Structure 1
Amino acid sequence: MTIVRRTAASTIAIVVATFASAPTFGQQLVTDDPRPADAAATAPVEDPGASDDIVVTGSIVEAQRSSILQKRMADNLVDIAAADAVGRFPDQNSAAALARLPAVAVQRDQGQERYVHVRGAPNRWTSVSIDNVPVIGVDEGGTTRAFRFDAIPAVLLSGLAINKSLTSNLQAEAIVANIDLRTYSPMSEKGLNVQGDVGYGVMGLGSGEQRQGSLRASWSNDVFGIVVGGSHYRRNQVTDNREVGLYDEPTGATDTQSGPTEIDIRSYRLIRENNGLFAGLEYQPADGQRMWAKAIYTGFNDDEQRNQYELRLDRAASGTRDLTGGDLVRVPVRGTFNDGQYRTRNYINTIGGEVDGANGFKAAVALNYTRTENTTDLPLVQASTPTSASPSLSFDFSDPRFPVVQLYATNAGAVPSRGSALSGFDQRTLAAPMVIIGRQDSFTDSYTMKLDVSQELGAVTLSAGGLYADRSITGFTFATANVVNLASFPAGSGLGFDINSYVTDQRWDTGFPLGFTLNNIDNKAMRGDIDTILARLRTLGTYDPSRDVPVSNRYALGEKLLAGYGMAKFTFDGGQVVAGLRVEHFDLDNRGTATLAGGRLEPLSVGQRYTDLFPSVNTRFDLTDRLVFRMAGQRGVARPSFGEVRVGSSIDDTASPGQIGGGNPTLRPEYTWGLDSSLEYYLPGSGILSVAGFHRWVDDVLYGNTQAVGSDAFDAGGIDRSGYLLSSTFNGGRGRLYGVELNYQQQFTFLPGILDGFGFQGNVTLLDGSFDTAERKDIRFPGTSNRIANASLYYEKFGLSARVSYQHRTRWLDTLGGLGLGGGGDEYRAGYDNVDVALRYAVTPNFSLYADLSNLTDAVYSAYQGNEGRPTEVEQIGRRYLGGVRFNF
């Protein structure tokens, strides 16, 4: 759906970010003062702009008041939500909590919220900070800078802020938004405060358990405060999955060998666990002076038993197939099994100090060390049916998401034929097993220093500051280079492996139609035996772990960022203007190794150094006590990921032209100019009604392709490789992303009697945009839905708090296909609708019961190639039910 005509006029139709589909809990305010910021600051309420902390003490309405007042007084366009410290939402991680804000959509992995798309933009266009200190994201293999929000439990936070327009004191590496995750301050509540929860529940698919618990204890007086806490969430989950390999294209009018090349049937049994520990100290020796130290550890564990069977339709001995179905003889079946371990660790340590002088002078300094670890250990055991055991089959593709298969025996002979119908597939007929070693690691160490100072001079406030970050990144992209044949061990090894001995009598838990049944594999036992065999083969010298990862997959990068800014805020009767300039100097040291013909290795090193200017302007006009108009303009940047820019590569000098696979060390950052504006009307009942819009013009958009190198980055040993063909990421042309956001939230205090406990929070975002490359025009940005919507109807009175929440997004482009094929090879993610229900009942002021009912729509998440008649993946995890108790004193 095109929502704005693609003309120059559309760039003027800008209005922005509104707040809060669903803030959860915030400070208890005694008024929902709609007056301008200067007037509100003198009102008898705590000014939330004076602190980054959102103290959780009350209800949904109290959270609305706090968040709306902070938005009302902000210098920029920002959406704010209080974290779920008392559990009004069933959000186990920060991605789920952020998803309830305007123009925010999430990307899920097996139903669990992981990445955040602000305004539908690629996730690399959103930067992240913790307590206003920038942190970098490193995903599996380092192939994206996207921050993994599923590794940050929501309970560690006191609030979340989405800065949709930038001021110069914020990092410039944010094309659409900067997300600031704000941690809890022990000085926000005096005396001893303890709160926590314990919950238990079940998963609708597979009946696995859910469990969660958290505890936070703080104590403070007027001088000193301390907080310690932790959280735990565990999910024992089954995921239903169907995939299709590729789709053949008909080669002529009589060609019947087209349609899906395989039907891939998968079942995942997994245990996902989030754990967090945090501690903080604060010291306030005098008014206007504060020193603090905070330490955060978060760990995400994902242990996955995956079983899959591929019906390899394109390798049938004979028969026909197309997009409606097929009838095939002797179809090979390949089984793949693993017990994989995925780990993400974050160690975040910050110390800082602040001075707030009586003469209007303020200063703040922060020092941070952050380490991230992201590892995957995934040995894949694979085997196929021999020719004599390969079944025949027919399949019905009338609902391409759920192909239904009928199996038959195969009659042997010179020309094999279909035999009698079978009730199931004999899983004990696989042969020639092998283990494919799958691994990836990425590690970062980041040291950051940040300084900010400001001086009030009447109606003008001058600010300046700087940031220095020194980061090292090492690791390798996902590799499956080492394959060990389990069917042929060396003589005298004393090792044996029967892949068919691990089939159990336990049926798959599945809600998808298939046509025949399958049983689970004992992946744990198989993994244990594989580890024993590999250890033995290593001793015998027939397995070399150093070959698991080619050197071309490895990278070692060093980043140094030096930034400084100057900014001025001018306040006048009826509004303010904030303008500034940020300067950033970026220095990249990029080292790796190229693999040449014959296995010869050659070290390569490429550096990048550049300095950029990032101006920004934010204006606010208080048209009336309740009506606010904002406009903002800025320049931003998004830098390539570590895996994309790595110099490590595999080079074939024998091909003509030569071929290179790997990273692209000459990648340039993506730069943008952006405009935002909003019209906000503040309603009684802690409400807001707003319309907002934005436009981003982006240069040098990143995309995948194969094209000539065009530089000397891979030249070595006297060989000019500038004309070789490189398969990697490249800079395309220009693009535009624009949209409109509508937001409404209000408690219905105007209703009579008990009905005044009802309220509503909702927002709709309409998006459009595209970018160009040399091969194609008007390509949608990956991750961009045309429409994103969130809505919550709540009731809160007499100790009862109930909320029904709805989330919706339309389809979005996920992965670009072959750029020479037009859009037919592009992969899309289908839209979905989610409904959650959260119930709370306060038995006493310090004790409450809760129930969270999640994914009540039982959403099916699917992907498809080109159109919905060609699905590539269909996945479902089922509904989730969790109940428990919460306490605070």
Structure 2
Amino acid sequence: MSSIAIAAATIAATPASAQQLAMPDARAPEAAVPVEDPAEGDEIVVTGSIVEAQRSSVLQKRMADNLVDIAAADAVGRFPDQNSAAALARLPAVAVQRDQGQERYIQVRGAPNRWTSVSIDNVPVIGVDEGGTTRAYRFDAIPAVLLSGLAINKSLTSNLQAEAIVANIDLRTYSPMSEKGLNVQGDLGYGIMALGGGEQRQGSLRASWSNDVFGVVLGGSHYRRHQVTDNREVGLYDEPTSATDTQFGPTEIDIRSYRLIRENNGLFAGLEYQPVEGQRLWAKAIYTDFNDDEQRNQYELRLDRAASGTRNLTGGDLVQVPVRGTFNDGQYRTRNYINTIGGELDDGHGLKASVALNYTRTENTTYLPLVQASTPAAASPSLTYDFRDPRFPIVQLYATNAGTVPTRGAALSGFDQRTLAAPIAIIGRQDSFTDSYTIKFDVSQEMDDVTVSGGGLYTDRSISGFTFATANIINLASFPAGSGLGFDVNRYVTDQRWDTNFPLGFTLNNIDNRAMRRDIDTIVARLRTLGVYDPARDVPVSNRYALGEKLLAGYGMAKLTFDGGQVVAGLRVEHFDLDNRGTATLAGGRLQPLSAGQRYTDLFPSLNTRFDLTDRLVFRIAGQRGIARPSFGEVRVGSSIDDTASPGQIGGGNPTLRPEYTWGIDASLEYYLPGSGILSVAGFHRWVDNVLYGNTQRVGSNAFDAGGIDRSGYLLSSTFNGQSGKLYGVELNYQQQFTFLPGALDGFGFQGNLTLIDGSFDTAERQDIRFPGTSNRIANASLYYEKFGLSARVSYQHRTRWLDTLGGLGLGGGSDEYRAGYDNVDVAIRYAVTPNLSLYADLNNLTDAVYSAYQGNEGRPTEVEQIGRRYMGGIRFNF
């Protein structure tokens, strides 16, 4: 243990930019941060890594130019987090969006994820998901072990990109010159997934060497899990058309089981050269990939297509209900190539300059060959369903008696999965690719109490790809067995039961998706050789898009430091140029190439003030203007049609979309406690114009009908500009090590935060709509103990429900889809066997959370999903 006493005035005398204080210096991410406590005269007892990381984070927050929250390096590694999204979720006012239970997107202050921008080593990056349908950054593609720290800048200074309405997140990678000599560290872990019993494993290795002049680092990480996801969906809900209507309620009961192999890999390398003090050159390369091999078994009980019977929101009694099976063994791939070189200069007399050049490529590819088949009328069962717990409808199956008017027969013990007929193969694809070139430079001059800064940024990005396409359909029933292309969809049923915790009323067995996929690939290859299958038809030209955007930005900023505080004021100018090209489908199926560009210049002022009311008490107030631009998929020219969904879906871009603009104000009162602690309250308000919102409605016409397919009942989705809106809230944050407790109890500590959020926006048709993705309440809490070589932490995460998708073009709330709130509890345990070797155990999702969505109210669930608990143990080493 060590005791360190400091004076706050010593720290305050060292000026730095907002970004430098928001994150440790790239040259030495941990060591560059002073280890003094901001309150004069206190002794701090350092007892372990959690405390050291907490202390570093609190100090950086205390001295920052803006409102910022920090997760220091060791806190990232010691939480039971696999990727950077999970690590960020520990910070105040942060919520996480999951896919198949895995953390993916970050929402700060409950705002839409597009309102948060991202930078890596201070260089802005953009997110491009599958199909380019969002600008939100996929944090599941960045393993936490690649990072030295995380910062959330909640108020902006002018040297940060303006495309950040609520926050900018800076991901800082490891610097080899933070530790002298040879340093090697890594971990190996193995565990199981409780649902399905699949394995999970992880490992990382990082080796660095440096002296006073040169440093090099090489590293990599790997994470893989075999996962089962239990899923129920309901599709849409029909409304009664009259008081005597007996056919309304759920249109289908959709039973799904996903068996996944998910894998994240990362490689990184860095070189740093510091010939003399104050001069540094560096180069870093990062490669990450996300691989998702997904087997899906799905059976839809198509209630609205029954021959006769009744159905409603409490139950139903239906005769001859068609059952459709959908099966796939598909691949989702995401690749990131991030390459940056840079240099820094500090002349020792107040002049500082830096430059960075970056090339980033992202690749998102999806290949999803689907097989669909349905029961013929003679094999379609009758059924009753009990909807009293709408999340888990209980179904009783019956035989169907044939006749002019079919009737319900004897009860069945299960569904015969070998009764499907008329199989088809649908070749689903979705790709997007981006290439981004960025140059960024900054220069500042310190002159006594004034520091003047300026800089610029130029980015040239190209984005190409296509939205999800299912246009190429192969009728597998058209090939007789003797032709060598025969296909029997029923021969792939296995004797292995589904892994499920959800009640249903009957059981189902797994499909051998791998064997089915091999046979489909063989058939497709054979048909291609025969000239019957043309892969060029997989993606209609109207699904394709190509965009290019150029951003030129410059800023000027000044910081005035005075006794008891400082003021940072600046102005940022951004010129944006968008080239948008695609193809639209017009009446009669005629294709029309279109181009719809945009060009505009904007000013973004910002003001950040800090007042040191006492050695421990700090007050901040800040104001800023920001922007959020539409995603590439939202603004594209063209439309896409999905005939495989039930009901079918049509998505179209809107090239006339305008960006969202906001004025915002932030204020905080921060009290710094002994034991590296903080007690703070912060408030924020954002006024937003041109709010972007997505809408869904039934087509209601034959405008999209083609090839004999009736699409009048499909769902049509697009994005529009609403009117004005506002988002506001309060954040409460408390963290402290309990050093005042006697004896061994002083190893306990607590970190917790609570955010209360409200806000709404208007459209021409509807007022006071909640922002999609916004929960009213977000909470994170961790109780930890660290002493005698033991480091243990129990973490709790909570968020309330949030609006996910608007329905009916915003005309009413009954069709809106919500995501239900949830609670997660994780446990992380570390024990240091020696100073260089420790054992760990991570226990995740101990609440066994069920994630669900519903239409209008909880009595109308549209999706219910569960992935189960996860357990992992292993070793960590360093030397």
**TM-score, structure 2 as length reference:** 0.93
In the alignment, which residue of structure 1 is the partner of 2:107? 117
* Aligned equivalents of 2:74, 2:515: Cα separation in 1: 40
Q: Unpaired segments of 5 or more residues in structure 2?
A: 32-45, 642-649, 698-714
* Aligned equivalents of 1:137, 1:329: Cα separation in 2: 48
Q: Call closer, same or farther: CA 1:812–1:467 in 2, change over 3 Å.
A: same
Q: Would the aligned equivalents of 2:480 and 2:486 in 1 still touch at CA under 8 Å?
A: no
Cα offset, 1:245, TM superposition:
1.1
1:245 to 228, 235, 245: 235
* Aligned equivalents of 1:763, 1:86: Cα separation in 2: 17
- 2:29 matches 1:54: yes
Q: Call closer, same or farther: CA 1:122–1:30 in 2, change over 3 Å.
A: farther
Q: Look up the equivalent residue of 1:35 and give its one-letter code.
A: A
- Aligned pairs for 1:426-505 (under 5 A) are 426-489=416-479, 493-505=483-495
- 2:249 matches 1:259: yes
SS, match of residue 487 in structure 1: helix
In the alignment, which residue of structure 1 is the partner of 2:633? 643
* Aligned equivalents of 1:446, 1:776: Cα separation in 2: 39
In the alignment, which residue of structure 1 is the partner of 2:552? 562
Q: Would the aligned equivalents of 1:29 and 1:66 in 2 still touch at CA under 8 Å?
A: no
In the alignment, which residue of structure 1 is the partner of 2:38? none
- Aligned pairs for 1:812-827 (under 5 A) are 812-819=802-809, 821-827=811-817
- 2:156 matches 1:166: yes
SS, match of residue 877 in structure 2: strand
* Aligned equivalents of 1:354, 1:821: Cα separation in 2: 55
Which stretch has the larger CA shift, 407-416 or 610-619?
407-416
* Aligned equivalents of 2:269, 2:782: Cα separation in 1: 33
CA-to-partner distance for each residue in 1:103-159, whole Å, 9 max, x for gaps? Answer: 000001111000101000000010100000000100111111011000000000000
In the alignment, which residue of structure 1 is the partner of 2:327? 337
Q: Would the aligned equivalents of 2:199 and 2:225 in 1 still touch at CA under 8 Å?
A: yes
* Aligned equivalents of 1:728, 1:608: Cα separation in 2: 19
- Aligned pairs for 1:595-614 (under 5 A) are 595-597=585-587, 599-614=589-604
- Aligned pairs for 1:187-266 (under 5 A) are 187-266=177-256
* Aligned equivalents of 2:380, 2:664: Cα separation in 1: 58
Q: Look up the equivalent residue of 1:531 and give its one-letter code.
A: D
SS, match of residue 514 in structure 1: coil
Q: Look up the equivalent residue of 1:886 and give its one-letter code.
A: R
- 2:606 matches 1:616: yes
Q: How many residues align?
A: 834
In the alignment, which residue of structure 2 is the partner of 1:593? 583
* Aligned equivalents of 1:761, 1:371: Cα separation in 2: 37
SS, match of residue 57 in structure 2: helix
Q: Would the aligned equivalents of 2:319 and 2:383 in 1 still touch at CA under 8 Å?
A: yes
* Aligned equivalents of 2:723, 2:344: Cα separation in 1: 44
- 2:728 matches 1:735: no
Q: Call closer, same or farther: CA 1:414–1:609 in 2, change over 3 Å.
A: same
Q: Would the aligned equivalents of 2:542 and 2:591 in 1 still touch at CA under 8 Å?
A: no
Cα offset, 1:601, TM superposition:
3.0
- 2:172 matches 1:182: yes
Q: Would the aligned equivalents of 2:21 and 2:63 in 1 still touch at CA under 8 Å?
A: no
* Aligned equivalents of 1:644, 1:47: Cα separation in 2: 36
- 2:277 matches 1:287: yes
Q: Would the aligned equivalents of 1:701 and 1:731 in 2 still touch at CA under 8 Å?
A: yes
* Aligned equivalents of 2:21, 2:797: Cα separation in 1: 32
Instruction: Output the aligned Cα RMSD.
Output: 2.0
* Aligned equivalents of 2:845, 2:23: Cα separation in 1: 35
Cα offset, 1:662, TM superposition:
2.5
Q: Call closer, same or farther: CA 1:631–1:429 in 2, change over 3 Å.
A: same
Cα offset, 1:324, TM superposition:
0.8
- 2:8 matches 1:35: yes
SS, match of residue 166 in structure 1: coil
SS, match of residue 72 in structure 1: helix
Cα offset, 1:432, TM superposition:
0.2
Q: Would the aligned equivalents of 2:622 and 2:666 in 1 still touch at CA under 8 Å?
A: yes
Cα offset, 1:50, TM superposition:
6.4
In the alignment, which residue of structure 1 is the partner of 2:647? none
CA-to-partner distance for each residue in 1:552-572, whole Å, 9 max, x for gaps? Answer: 111111110000000000000
Q: Call closer, same or farther: CA 1:86–1:464 in 2, change over 3 Å.
A: closer
Q: Call closer, same or farther: CA 1:781–1:368 in 2, change over 3 Å.
A: same
- 2:507 matches 1:540: no
Q: Call closer, same or farther: CA 1:661–1:279 in 2, change over 3 Å.
A: closer
Which stretch has the larger CA shift, 595-604 or 161-170?
595-604
* Aligned equivalents of 1:401, 1:650: Cα separation in 2: 31
In the alignment, which residue of structure 1 is the partner of 2:63? 73
Q: Call closer, same or farther: CA 1:367–1:329 in 2, change over 3 Å.
A: same
Q: Would the aligned equivalents of 1:32 and 1:686 in 2 still touch at CA under 8 Å?
A: no
Q: Look up the equivalent residue of 1:398 and give its one-letter code.
A: R
CA-to-partner distance for each residue in 1:475-531, whole Å, 9 max, x for gaps? Answer: 011111221111113998531000000000000000000110100000011011111
Cα offset, 1:599, TM superposition:
4.5
Q: Look up the equivalent residue of 1:852 and give its one-letter code.
A: D
* Aligned equivalents of 1:729, 1:385: Cα separation in 2: 37
* Aligned equivalents of 2:232, 2:494: Cα separation in 1: 21
Q: Unpaired segments of 5 or more residues in structure 1?
A: 1-27, 652-659, 708-724
In the alignment, which residue of structure 1 is the partner of 2:828? 838
Cα offset, 1:647, TM superposition:
1.7
Cα offset, 1:165, TM superposition:
0.3
- 2:316 matches 1:326: yes
In the alignment, which residue of structure 2 is the partner of 1:419? 409
- 2:679 matches 1:704: no
Q: Look up the equivalent residue of 2:25 and give its one-letter code.
A: S
Higher relative contact order (CA 8 A, sep 6+): 1
* Aligned equivalents of 2:253, 2:640: Cα separation in 1: 32
Q: Look up the equivalent residue of 2:344 and give its one-letter code.
A: E
* Aligned equivalents of 2:9, 2:661: Cα separation in 1: 35
In the alignment, which residue of structure 2 is the partner of 1:710? none
- 2:358 matches 1:384: no
* Aligned equivalents of 2:634, 2:344: Cα separation in 1: 39
Q: Would the aligned equivalents of 2:803 and 2:819 in 1 still touch at CA under 8 Å?
A: yes
In the alignment, which residue of structure 1 is the partner of 2:90? 100
CA-to-partner distance for each residue in 1:668-724, whole Å, 9 max, x for gaps? Answer: 1000000001000000000000000100000000123489xxxxxxxxxxxxxxxxx
Which stretch has the larger CA shift, 480-489 or 126-135?
480-489
Cα offset, 1:665, TM superposition:
1.2
1:304 to 294, 318, 322: 294
The percent of aligned pairs where both chains have the same amino acid is 88
Which stretch has the larger CA shift, 815-824 or 355-364?
815-824
Cα offset, 1:316, TM superposition:
1.0
Q: Would the aligned equivalents of 2:774 and 2:802 in 1 still touch at CA under 8 Å?
A: yes
Q: Look up the equivalent residue of 2:8 and give its one-letter code.
A: R
1:784 to 774, 786, 789: 774
In the alignment, which residue of structure 1 is the partner of 2:506? 516
Which stretch has the larger CA shift, 483-492 or 580-589?
483-492
In the alignment, which residue of structure 2 is the partner of 1:810? 800
* Aligned equivalents of 2:21, 2:123: Cα separation in 1: 23
* Aligned equivalents of 1:543, 1:777: Cα separation in 2: 50
- 2:741 matches 1:751: yes
In the alignment, which residue of structure 2 is the partner of 1:692? 682
Cα offset, 1:358, TM superposition:
1.5
* Aligned equivalents of 1:268, 1:231: Cα separation in 2: 26
Q: Would the aligned equivalents of 1:34 and 1:40 in 2 still touch at CA under 8 Å?
A: no
Cα offset, 1:661, TM superposition:
6.6
Q: Look up the equivalent residue of 1:847 and give its one-letter code.
A: L
Q: Would the aligned equivalents of 1:34 and 1:683 in 2 still touch at CA under 8 Å?
A: no
* Aligned equivalents of 1:32, 1:600: Cα separation in 2: 76
Q: Would the aligned equivalents of 1:827 and 1:864 in 2 still touch at CA under 8 Å?
A: yes
**TM-score, structure 1 as length reference:** 0.92
* Aligned equivalents of 1:83, 1:460: Cα separation in 2: 31
Q: Would the aligned equivalents of 2:22 and 2:151 in 1 still touch at CA under 8 Å?
A: no
* Aligned equivalents of 1:759, 1:492: Cα separation in 2: 72
